[in-house]
Structure 1
Amino acid sequence: MSAAIRVAQSSQASIKSLISLMNKSCTCPAHSHARAIQREHHQHTKDCGHGKDDDHEYAFEMASSTMRFGEGVTREVGQDLVNMNAKKVLVMTDPNIAKLPVMKTVVDSLKANNVNYVVFDRVRAEPTDRSYEEAIQFTKQHQPDVFVAVGGGSVMDTCKAANLYSNYPNAELLEFVNAPIGKGSVIDKTLSPLIAIPTTAGTGSETTGTAIFDYKPLNVKTGIASRKLRPTLGIVDPLNTLTMPTQVKIASGLDVLCHALESYTALPYQERTPRPKNPAERPAYQGSNPISDVWSLEALKLTVKYLKRSADDPLDLEANAEMCLAAAAAGTGFGSAGVHLCHGMSYPISGLNKGYKHPEYNVDHNIIPHGISVAVTAPAVFRYTGEACPDRHFKAAEIFGADLSKVRKGESAGPLLADQLTKFLQGLGIPDGISALGYTKDDIPALVKGTLPQHRVTKLAPLSTGAEALEKIFADSMKNY
């Protein structure tokens, strides 16, 4: 039996179980799963200690891209494009992926279905404003009506940006970039169809409406976030992840890990302010909610169980397939709930890189992979946020293997989760804190300065976090082991 079939059967069983729980005729609090989730979420609100007023949010939206999962499903993309009546397709990838079997599969499928296409294969790993501009100019030159992104998060995000600005040909790059770095203008057009074919199990970008890049003038990461950016279809084929180098696999998986943890512990949606005056202005990242919780917890469980297995054995088909599902599940969860401090602090860690180049990344520039930059602060972040919603931190710690029956009365949830995270990260052999990436305590003011503008994510932390708190978290992140 193939890994895909085993995973599909497992997923079907989980879905049937969830539907059964949600549809039980009894609506009393003791038996209703939906009400149990709602009750726990209200406790999360209470635990976080936020008050109520007329400006608070009262609704959340759940939306995601259509996802197709299965071993070998990449070969269907040509027929998908025919079904879309595509006239000219732009296939976007990077120089490394361009040489791998997945691109041959995609091109063969397009040729077999007589699809007119052009390839852009110069996407930069960890894209910048300049690399975005290059892809956008290529797109404007060729004027495609459908896009296909083949690669990891960098490729998918670059393709989203190219799609956006080809539909707004007169807009400057900062027009839609998140405030305060950009103007944060609302995307009010329906963009061209985009099919995303991930080759990593990490960003979940095949399900989300975000596009992240390094903005070099300020040396920080920022991005664009809108539901309009979501791919039309995500084709998730576990076979495409088998060629990932071990370090790429680990870094990608750590992004999944932090997506799950941050979205599960994010500020509850009904505590976010201000409430939008127009539903179209409701942000893509809305705060944790009962539906995002389901996806985030499932992604966390899968990542804890399968990430090390997939890293230890590149040909472990089951582990690779489960990590693909984990990435998509986490993308669905954080695509609604959002992320918070690990991601907000990761942006200056990557953007201010002083000369670090992570092993096994075949690129011609220094690079701190996104998954590494989010993970190195995770123990300190969750040590800090534990007091805000301890039940959620205890639950996450239990998924890592903590025995809650041995927790002493009054013991803090934050340190317990931080200890479990530290063991997990050490077991994967990732760099020991931000000092291993070249930073010293003298760099903390610059790192804090680079984090403060990341309002889109930092304001979703369950605790209000200013410069003083960020300084302490960065200091605590110098070494983890």
Structure 2
Amino acid sequence: MSISPAIRISPSRAARAMNLLRTVQFTHPPSCPCHSNPAHHHHTPSTIHQARRHLATPLDTSHQKEYAFEMAASSIRFGPGCTKEVGMDFTNMGSKRVMVVTDGNVRKLDAMKQAVEGLTREGIQFEIYDGVRVEPKDDSIKAAIEVSKKYRPDAFLAVGGGSVIDTAKLMNLYTTFPEADFLDFVNAPLGKGMPIQSKLYPLVAVPTTAGTGSETTGTAIFDLVSKRAKTGIAHRNLKPTLGIVDPLNTRTMPSAVHASSGLDVLCHSLESWTAIPFYERTPRPANPIQRPAYQGANPISDIFSLQALRDTVKYLPRAVKDPEDHEAQSQMLLAATLAGVGFGNAGVHLCHGMSYPISGQNPGYKHAGYEVEHKIIPHGVSVAVTAPAVFKFTAASNPERHLQAAEAFGVDISNVKKESAGEVLSEALAEFLIKLGDQPRGLKHLGFGNEHLDALVEGTIPQARVLMLAPNLEMSNVDTEREQLRGLFEEAMEY
């Protein structure tokens, strides 16, 4: 028998392994009493009674830091032309009655044609709902849910951008739980934040934009009009069963949509890369089903987030500039999916938390290149407009990560001091956005002024699900938090 040579581990990998071991060592729950105290094995009747009573009492983990992270993502199929396989997928799942979800514009595109032909070839019964609103509001979501409940499907197919996929997720959820109140699953504090206790019907998502990564995640976002804020529902059971990521489906995207959806990818990757580490998040869940979808940066999400950032910086300007650059478009679609896996498990923070009131409190801006009748600040625009201010603010928490992000933009960081990381990344971001073209250079260009600051701050504070992952934000003191958020909005007025 031959003996394998010794495995060589590079110093950098050895250091990373030691860091992970230290993380486990210092964030693991206290040792079992039986292991730390040999006499503990001699159980008297009173100790047994105490143990039973202890097991019956829920563990209070509200002040304990997290010690574990989970990875969850949809199955993904990537390749030009793979949309035509969708009918066979539903046959393989045993689905007989499919609710197809789209919007009025996408219904006319080849992606829908391929999907419908695939369903027809397999003899699958289906009904098309094309009433999805771009940047959906709760009333449009509720209208879609009612259609779904009446049709009583056993599976869902979403063909479109993030608005379509998110709407389909919520149609699926409330068709599975038809008696639930709408706010039952909505993120706290705006809703009750109840966990989704069981699997939903199969959902296949076919993205036609390269941005949201919604085909991979258990998150659905919408405007809650009564609160003048965006919110959503987030749970692993909400994620699609399968994401069909077909580069042919993004070739019809207008340049403005390429740009704004690509900016969403940019912020997904940057925010998940710079989020607080998973082991710093509190509270630790008393039950695994309560572990949030957004958990903080972790060693697996880091890989997806950083690669998505590098690809976005490389390919987004090309995809926006040349509608015939199919390589760049394909790579951006893949980057969106990579970022979806990254942020779908690590989470986002300030850019997204601040974007929700920016969109919900739109003073009248309508972004050029969007074929909609209503005023609209596209989601990618609303997140990117604060990015130069945000990452200048968060850099002190982890200068090394912010410098690595700046390096992805092509900055030579070899002689940059750690205390300059925020300024360097902020300048690199601003330069990237300006060169991309046709982007509002701050909130002032969206129509916001100082008179809107208080409302923007108050619309951000309820976004606890994402703000809790923001480095440097003092959420333990709401007055300090308000002051910090106001400063960020002021900084984001113009860059």
Q: TM-score, normalised by structure 1?
A: 0.90
Matched position secondary structure for 1:386: helix
Is the CA contact (8 Å cut-off) linking 1:124 and 1:131 kept in structure 2? yes
**Which of these residues, 247, 256, 259, is aligned with residue 250 of structure 1?**
259
Deviation at 1:32, TM superposition (A): 4.3
* 2:494 partner amino acid: K
**Residue 321 (str. 1) matches residue 321 (str. 2):** no
Does 1:455 pair with 2:470?
Answer: no
**Partner of residue 417, structure 1:** 425
Aligned to 2:153: 144
Residue 212 of structure 2: aligned partner: 203
The CA deviation at 1:115 is: 1.1
Letter in 2 for 1:386: A
**Aligned-partner residue type, residue 316 of structure 1:** D
Deviations 1:137-184 (A, max 9, x none): 000010000000000000000000000000110112111000000011
Equivalent position amino acid for 1:412 in 2: S
Would the alpha carbon gap of residues 40 and 298 (structure 1) be closer, same or farther in structure 2, given more than 3 Å must change?
Answer: farther
**CA offsets per residue over residues 202-232 of structure 1, 9 Å max, x none?**
0000000000000000111000000000000
Q: Distance in 2 between matches of 1:168 and 1:81?
A: 22
On the 8 A contact 1:342/1:374 being kept in 2, the answer is yes
1:440-467 deviations in Å (ceiling 9; x for gaps):
0110000000000000001100112411
Whole-angstrom CA distance in 2 between matches of 1:173 and 1:277 = 25
| Equivalent AA in structure 1 for residue 17 of structure 2 | R
Deviations 1:100-137 (A, max 9, x none): 11111111111111111100001000000000001100
Contact 1:41/1:290 (8 A) holds in 2: no
Q: Return closer, same or farther for 1:39/1:474 CA change in 2, 3 Å cut-off.
A: farther
Structure 2 CA distance for aligned equivalents of residues 188 and 410 of structure 1: 45
1:467 maps to 482
Q: CA RMSD in A?
A: 1.8
Q: Unaligned 5+ residue runs, structure 2?
A: 1-5, 28-60, 475-480
What is the identity, as a one-letter code, of the residue corresponding to 1:396?
Answer: A
Q: 1:28 to 1:245 in 2, by over 3 A?
A: closer
Partner SS, residue 387 of structure 1: helix
AA at the equivalent of 1:423:
E
Offset at 1:36? 7.0
Confirm whether residue 478 of structure 1 aligns to residue 460 of structure 2: no
Q: Which deviations, in whole Å up to 9, do the C-alpha atoms of 1:63-90 show, x marking residues without a partner? A: 1100000000000001111111111000
Does the CA-based 8 Å contact 2:63-2:282 persist in structure 1?
no
Residue 37 of structure 1: how far off its partner (Å): 7.3
Identity of paired residues, percent?
56
Q: Is the 8 A contact 1:29 1:36 kept in 2?
A: no
Which of the numbers 346, 349, 357 marks the counterpart of 1:340?
Answer: 349
Cα deviation, 1:304-332, whole Å, max 9, x if unaligned, reads 00001011111211101110110000000
Which residue is equivalent to 1:18?
none
Going from structure 1 to structure 2, the CA distance change for 1:349 and 1:378 (only over 3 Å counts) comes to same
Matching residue of 1:182: 191
Contact kept? 1:26, 1:32, Cα under 8 Å = no
From 59, 84, 94, the equivalent of 1:75 is 84
Q: Deviation of residue 411 (structure 1)? A: 4.2
Q: Give the length in aligned residue pairs.
A: 448
How do 1:271-310 residues align onto structure 2 when only pairs under 5 Å count? 271-310=280-319
Q: Which of 122, 130, 137 is 1:128 aligned to?
A: 137
Aligned to 1:309, what secondary structure does the other structure show?
A: helix
Within-5 A mapping of 1:227-242: 227-242=236-251
Query: Which residue number in structure 1 is paired with residue 435 of structure 2?
Result: 427
For residues 21 and 433 of structure 2, the distance between their equivalents in structure 1, rounded to whole angstroms, comes to: 33
Structure 1 residue 436 corresponds to structure 2 residue 451: no
2:176 pairs with one of 162, 167, 172: 167
Between the aligned partners of 1:288 and 1:425, the Cα distance in structure 2 is 25
User: How do 1:54-69 residues align onto structure 2 when only pairs under 5 Å count?
Assistant: 55-69=64-78
Q: Distance between the aligned counterparts of 1:54 and 1:165, measured in 2?
A: 33
- Pick closer, same or farther for the CA change 1:30–1:311 going to 2, 3 Å: closer
Contact 2:305 2:338 survives alignment (8 Å): yes
Structure 1 residue 54, shift from structure 2 partner: 6.4
Would the alpha carbon gap of residues 410 and 264 (structure 1) be closer, same or farther in structure 2, given more than 3 Å must change?
closer
Change (3 A) 1:152 1:55: same
What is the aligned partner in structure 1 of residue 359 from structure 2?
Answer: 350
CA distance in 2, matches of 1:41, 1:319: 39
TM-score (norm 2): 0.88
Cα contact 1:210–1:226 (8 A) shared by 2: yes
Report the more deviating stretch, 422-431 or 398-407: 398-407
C-alpha contact 1:37 1:290 (8 A) present in aligned 2: no
Give the counterpart of 1:115 among 124, 128, 135: 124
Residue 133 of structure 2 aligns to a residue in which SS?
coil
1:100 and 2:95 matched: no
Letter in 2 for 1:181: L
Q: Which amino acid aligns with 1:38?
A: L
- How far, CA to CA, are the matches of 1:122 and 1:433 in structure 2? 32
Provide closer, same or farther for how the CA distance between residues 410 and 189 of structure 1 changes in structure 2, counting only shifts above 3 A.
closer
Please give the secondary structure, in 1, of the residue aligned with 2:222.
strand
Q: Deviation at 1:28?
A: 7.2
1:41 deviates by 8.2
- Look up the match of 1:38: 20
Task: Find the residue that maps to 2:252 and give its secondary structure.
Answer: coil
Contact persistence 1:342–1:377 (CA under 8 A): yes
* Cα gap change, 1:37 to 1:94, in 2 (>3 Å): farther
Q: Distance in 2 between matches of 1:254 and 1:36?
A: 35
> 1:57–1:424: structure 2 CA closer, same or farther, 3 Å change rule?
same
**Rounded Cα–Cα distance in structure 2 between residues aligned with 1:311 and 1:108:** 30
Equivalent residue letter for 2:320: A
Inter-partner Cα distance in structure 2 for 1:410 and 1:249: 34
Contact 2:62–2:284 (Cα < 8 Å) also in 1: no
CA distance in 1, matches of 2:292, 2:15: 27
- CA deviations over 1:19-71 (Å, ceiling 9, x no partner): xxxxx9445755448627738989xx9xxxxxx99600000001110000000
Deviations 1:327-370 (A, max 9, x none): 00000000110000000000000000111111111112111000
Amino acid in structure 2 at the alignment position of 1:425:
L
Specify the structure having the higher radius of gyration (Cα): 2
